[in-house]
Structure 1
Amino acid sequence: MAETGAHLSGVWAKATDLQIERGMGIRVIDVNGHEYLDFTGGLGAASTGHAHPKVTQAIAEQAGRMIHAQINVYRHDKLQPLVNKLGEITPDGIDTFYFGSTPDEIVESAVKLAKHATDRRNVITFDGAFHGRTHYTLAMSSSRAIDRAGYGPLPGGVFIAPYPDPHASDQEAEVSRALRGLDRIMSTQVSPEKIAACVIEPVIGERGYIPTPQGFLEGIERRCRDHGILLVTDETQSGFGRTGRMFATEALGVSPDIICMAKGMASGFPFAALGTRRELDEKWVTGSHSGSSNGNPIGCAAALATIEVLQEPGFLDNVKSRGNQLMDALLNLQQLDQALLHVRGRGLMVATEFDTAERAAAVVAHCQKESRLLLMLAGTYKKTIRWSPPLIVNQSEIDEAVSAFASAIRATS
């Protein structure tokens, strides 16, 4: 038995040393009573903010009825309502749903479904993607070397294709270059007839919040349709209102065969789902995949309450407005310092990229210490600061955060 006072694992990287006691809306409060403006949003998962009353009430009521209902043994009364609601809000053609607990699990589940549905064994992902930390999702990821270091050999059958450089001056030419790279992989490394799925994030997350160009995603979809490859969109980070639409793919003119959902789906409660077409799910061999917490009733209740909040009149319009407000303000701040190289994003999934990792880290540290604003680093080289506040953020809170950021830029220049 572990001794009292045994240490937590040291494997988790830490963005702060804060000891948080509770959260309210867009703010968190530490054990000393200090309030912090949380623009990390729990890695973007706290979609409705901390302790939203509708979500907490739904969780509490469900916990009083049943905490765990193992889906292989019996079903509960939150499953079908959630399936019905997801059928209403997911992209056209998506009508069948599988529930899990974590983003990694659901992406790997999507790949397993694709393999059964196509009877193929290989997967294409894209340079800089992050899909998870299980062995297979690590093989699919290439945003940072540290995530893979020491864990090899990783599973085979994953081919990483080029992704357009977001800094290229001619984006149309860059999209064409990346698509030619994909074609070359399918000509030299793996036959298209052996590829089960292409998996892509509509907004590349861990590499630094890079919106996927519409022309690139359309080009991938054409190749998938031409070769019977399934298109899987990983909306773990970009889904459930984060970009100002329920799903980022809505603005990109494509129709995924499988969509992966997690994080903001249940306001940060551990819950995840994939959506697909019934005809594909029917090829997923019954009994070949499952999990102990699949379709957890508290997770279903949290997801239903979250969707109810996101569908309130004007909610997503506010996300778009606050995203525009944030982007415009950050673009104006580029005039303060040439070291702030890039501002990009969609909705409230925004990135500011500096010239060095040291400068980005100094800005984040100053924001926390001097203004009690919480931000996080991202990107392959940690030069990017990501902005992912809860979607309930208001105009004055955006102004407060931008003012703190401006002060940090001046203080660290």
Structure 2
Amino acid sequence: MVSSNEIIEEDKKMLMQSFKRWYPVVIDHGKGSLIYDIEGKEYIDMNAGIGVVALGHSNEKIVKAVEEQARKFFHYSLTDFYYEKAISVARRLLSFFPFKGKVFYTNSGTESVEAAIKIARHHTKKEYVIGFVNSFHGRTLGSLAFTSSKAVQRSGFSPLLPSTFLIPYPDPRNPLCREDCASEIISYIEDWLFKKIVDPSEIAAFIMEPIQGEGGVIVPPDDFFSQLRSITSKNGILMIMDEVQTGIGRTGKMFAFEHFNVVPDIVTLAKAIGGGLPLGAVVGREEIMDLPYGSHASTFGGNPLALAASEVVLDEVPKLLDHVSYLGKKIIEELSSALSPFLYEVRGKGLLVGAELRKDGKPYEEGLAKVLDGSFNRGVLAIGAGESVVRVEPPLVIEEDIAMKATNIIKEEIEKLR
């Protein structure tokens, strides 16, 4: 039998190494919240394939739905033809939104963001789009203009999409935030961005993550988005919420924007919506989703196999929201009790949790590596975010005892730091 080391060496030879692997583990199969490598070792999955497998690995309902669809047809491009599955999923998806909307299907998060930018620019007939520093929206050239959680993501790829600006996010660690972070960033927008950089009449949209995931699980003040919504509504500016990571139940609500008393105009989705198959979507107010025939399409967007999986996801996830909220609070409480001078803060909502490590007032990147490696060696697959944040986002179906076993291992590894 081929070994993990052999696979890893072949990977280095044959695949472009433009992405980082967290551990030398080669996955063989998974079931529920557990993963098994090709040597047969069992791991607790505390990252859900980066937030994708909301219903766990090899979910029987998803397997059955995909098998049934595969016996009918694999593909027949939705951009040129019709099939009923696209309508049934859209109907179910739209039922979760507080406005009358329409759906555009994509294959990934970055494609959803690209589509949302085009929709916003075309509808408003304005060119500028404003994003936030420390966000992650994807790595294709349009979405990359708004991605800035790490400099390496942008380095060497300029010029990026023009007519874009990045402004500070309401992060309490930001030097601009002194007393009232939300109001201070709003003042920055009104007194500096609008008056010194770009007139609001030229701005098509603001794009933001309701919680910055890759940037370190940064949760904004409760009133920030409602204040921003007031500004955008007054100036005819659209609000795009990137819910690629936070959407579909991850934070204990179907969409994270529901935590913040705000209703966006456009929402981008991917990751969990396909249950493990490549699927993304843009959901927007009906009057905004008005791109003309031939202006935007996707050969594989809305693939029937992925839509079959999505039907199951959209039926099952609402049943899990109380479990996600309860378990997320318990994980935060347990990690927060770690006895370590290097644990700066534990934050998040639902099953998107970040434990930030700092040493001498600075991000403790070496500490993050030690915690992740130590957890991996003890059978837990967690990953990092930001500069030194342990990111915890297991499948939404993870059992409480398994989740807390993994959480305690992570906690113990934090406590080992010196």
TM-score (norm 1): 0.94
Paired residue for 1:397? 402
Q: Give the Cα separation in 2 of the matches to 1:30 and 1:93.
A: 44
Query: 3-state DSSP class of the match of 2:405?
Result: helix
Among 108, 115, 118, the alignment partner of 2:121 is 115
| Match in the other structure for 2:371 | 363
Give the CA deviation at 1:168.
Answer: 6.8
1:152 aligns with 2:158: yes
Contact residue 108 and residue 137 of structure 1 kept, 8 A: yes
Matches within 5 A, 1:71-86: 71-86=78-93
Q: Any idea what SS the aligned residue of 2:14 has?
A: coil
Superposed CA RMSD: 1.8
Does 2:347 match 1:344? yes
Which residue in 1 is equivalent to 2:245? 237
Normalised by the size of structure 2, how large is the TM-score?
Answer: 0.93
* Residue deviations 1:89-146 (CA, integer Å, cap 9, x gap): 12x1142111010100000100100011100011011111111101111111111101
C-alpha contact 1:322 1:393 (8 A) present in aligned 2? no
**Letter matched to residue 248 of structure 1:** A
Q: How far apart are 1:259 and its partner, in Å?
A: 0.7
2:67 maps to 60
1:409 aligns with 2:414: yes
Aligned counterparts of 1:230 and 1:178: Cα–Cα separation in 2: 18
Segments of structure 1 that go 5 or more residues without pairing to the other structure are none
Residue deviations 1:331-362, cap 9 Å, x none? 111xx111011100000000000011101110
Q: Deviations over 1:286-340 (max 9, x none)?
A: 210001112111111111111111133xx2111111101101111111xx11101
The number of aligned residues is 402
Taking the TM superposition and a 5 Å limit, the aligned residue runs for 1:3-402 are 7-90=14-97, 92-167=98-173, 173-183=180-190, 184-282=192-290, 284-312=291-319, 315-333=320-338, 336-355=339-358, 356-369=364-377, 371-379=378-386, 382-402=387-407
Check conservation: 1:322, 1:394, Cα contact below 8 A: no
Output the amino acid matched with 2:151.
A
Per the TM alignment, residue 38 of structure 1 is displaced from its structure 2 partner at its CA by 0.8
Q: Secondary structure at the match of 2:87?
A: helix
Q: Structure 1 residue 5: deviation in Å?
A: 11
Equivalent residue of 1:232, what SS? strand
How far does the alpha carbon of each residue in 1:51-100 deviate from its partner, in whole angstroms, 9 at most, with x for none?
1111111111111211111012211120111111011112x114211101
Q: CA deviation at 1:6?
A: 6.0
Give the match's secondary structure for 1:214. coil
Q: Which moved more, 1:66-75 or 1:103-112?
A: 66-75
In 2, the alpha carbon distance for the partners of 1:44 and 1:93 equals 26
Compute the displacement of 1:172 (Å): 5.6
Letter in 2 for 1:58: A
- C-alpha separation in 2, matches of 1:89 and 1:171: 37
Amino acid at match of 2:404: D
CA contact (8 A) 1:94 1:257 kept: no
Q: Which amino acid aligns with 1:10?
A: Q
Question: Displacement of 1:245 after TM fit?
Answer: 0.4
Structure 1 stretches of 4+ moved >3 Å: 3-6, 167-172
Identity of aligned residues (%): 32
The 2-side partners of 1:216 and 1:178 are apart by 8
Q: Distance in 1 between matches of 2:256 and 2:201?
A: 28
Gaps of 5+ in 2: 1-9, 359-363
C-alpha separation between the residues in 1 aligned to 2:193 and 2:34?
46
Distance 1:152 1:177 in 2: 31
Distance in 2, Cα, partners of 1:35 & 1:78:
36
Shift of 1:167: 3.6
Structure 1 residues 363 and 5: CA distance shift in structure 2, 3 A: closer
> In 1, distance between residues paired with 2:172 and 2:100?
30
Secondary structure at 1:210's aligned position in 2?
Answer: coil
CA offsets per residue over residues 384-410 of structure 1, 9 Å max, x none? Answer: 110000001122012201221133123
Task: Report the CA distance shift for 1:65/1:384 in structure 2 as closer, same or farther (over 3 A).
Answer: same
